Chain A
Amino acid sequence: MTTNSPSPPGEATVDPRPAPGHTGSRFTRVLGGIVIAGLAVQLLLALVISPRDVVQGDLTRIMYVHVPSAIAAYLAFGVTALGSAVYLWKRSQFWDLAAAASAEIGVLFTAMTLITGSLWGRSTWGTYWVWDARLTSTALLLILFIGYLAVRNIPAERHVRSRRAAIAGLVAFVDVPIVHYSVDWWRSLHQPATLTKLDPEIDGLMLFTLVFSIVVFQALFLWLAVHRFRAEYLAEQLDAEGLEDALAERRAEAHTPAAPTAPTPSAPVAPRSDEDAVPVVSAAPGEGSRS
């Protein structure tokens, strides 16, 4: 499954189905229906049916969005790391796209985790932010994967972008446990462990609500990831098509010889003056609009 496999020109006309105008499919429609129903039940359970906590009162209800978002974020970054590793190993476009799609949703869920967490913190501890180990390492996690998304959006050729993004994703993933451990150690040395001590005897209905919310959010993640994957895939197909058109146009101009694209290495390893020359990066294919 190499990255660039243009379909033969005839195929477009042979395929009888009209191109659907969206990224949905039967799978996503069914899954989407389940997610919407699940979210409705989740809201009902979380806000109405589940009982108040003995210690925190109604505030525990924030837990039912906070914890599922956090778990979805971890799942998303796990998929990104897996996709990055498989891409580096097999060069499969599928896993490259999966890593990209999943990382963006992971960043969304991490941001939501931080915001709901700080709202929870403001209402229980009185401040939006404490230098708590988990909060701090989650913030770093967010920035690490914002960095990954930045690599995903670099203006460069697709294989360059994919390769470097895969490496960035892997390195970020390796960094996460070290960051967590070091921040944990730093804070626990200086202040006693604070933070949510959930009642060991958590109410049965509360536990069910939490588990249900977690499952619904993972399904939501999957649904978003499939759509994001397809959008990314279409964007890449569009880029590839644009490139082919440009090449065809250039070939049509028969009098112009094909322009060489690769820069020729001009100097050996020997020491040289240090003027920072502008590197040659072919701009055309990678510049597709990506927001």
Chain B
Amino acid sequence: MWREAALVAGKDLRVEWRSRVVLNQVVPFSVVVLLLFGFALDPDRGFLRQAAPGLYWIAVLLSAMVVVQRSFAVETADGGRDALRATGLDPAALFLGKAAATAAVLVALEIVLAVGVSLLYGVDLTRGLPLLVVSGLLATIGLVAPGMIYGALASGLRVRETLLPLLFLPAVAPVMIGATRAFEAALRQPPSMGEGWRWCGLLGVFAAIYTALGLLIFEPLLEDS
């Protein structure tokens, strides 16, 4: 199963690398979101800095949605969904592979956004760095796992562009809460690490539940199309 998952992940990343859609379109999109927050809230630095954890995770959430949509647009094109089934890959491996590739892309985006936040909003990210990294990684899994489930659920439907946000965004509200609180705790002066690690626990539980759910549910999800 692990080999098949690696195969799928490699294929997705190769598609991504060759098309460069993420680099050419999604990265600029997320940077624009950061700029928009500057326009919407007074770019008085103190205010943006205070709200930075929340703004950062909203930007990540929106980018994650685009990335998930993209990950399944690749499959749906030319009946790729049927083709995937025809290869006889284990659905669980398919889930893991696609999730891994999407997570890798999302982590890259998060790094770009983190640099953007620290430059544009004047946030010092070196404070509480381990907490930032761990909570960021857990939150990424927590976004990608439900993203794969709902992405597959909406894929191949004519209403997929409108259906995915409606299903995906309320479901990941706990990730939004947990990740924002963890970042707030890490950036506080002085950082309150204890509180931050507790939020990491919540993020971890969420990620674990959705990963398990995805492994179980991908098979019936791909059966039709």
Contact = CB atoms under 8 A, between A and B. Distances in A.
Interface of A: 88, 140, 143-144, 146-147, 150-151, 154-157, 159-160, 163-164, 167-168, 170-172, 174-175, 178-179, 181-183, 185-186, 189, 263-277, 279-281
B44 interface: no
A128 to B, nearest CB: 21
Interface string B51-88: 00000000000000000000001101111111110110
B225 A160 contact: yes
Contacts of A163: 220-221, 223-224
B170 A143 contact: yes
B27 interface: no
Contacts of B202: 181-182, 185
Interface in B84-112: 84, 86-87
DSSP class of B's interface residues: helix, strand, loop or mixed? helix
B20 to A, nearest CB: 10
21 contacts: A140-B173, A143-B166, A147-B166, A147-B167, A160-B225, A163-B221, A164-B153, A167-B149, A168-B167, A171-B150, A182-B174, A182-B202, A182-B206, A186-B177, A266-B83, A269-B83, A276-B73, A277-B78, A279-B157, A279-B158, A281-B156
Nearest to B21: A274
Interface size class for chain B? Answer: 35 or more
A172 B223 CA distance: 20
A159 B223 CA distance: 10
Nearest to A159: B224
A146 B195 CA distance: 34
A144 B167 CA distance: 7
Interface in B124-180: 146, 149-150, 153, 155-159, 163, 166-167, 170-171, 173-174, 177-178
Contacts of B87: 268-269
Contacts of B174: 178-179, 181-183
B217 A171 contact: yes
B73 A269 contact: no
A170 B146 CA distance: 13
B159 A155 contact: yes
A258 to B, nearest CB: 20
Nearest to A87: B220
B14 interface: yes
A150 B157 contact: no
A183 B202 CA distance: 11
Contacts of A157: 224
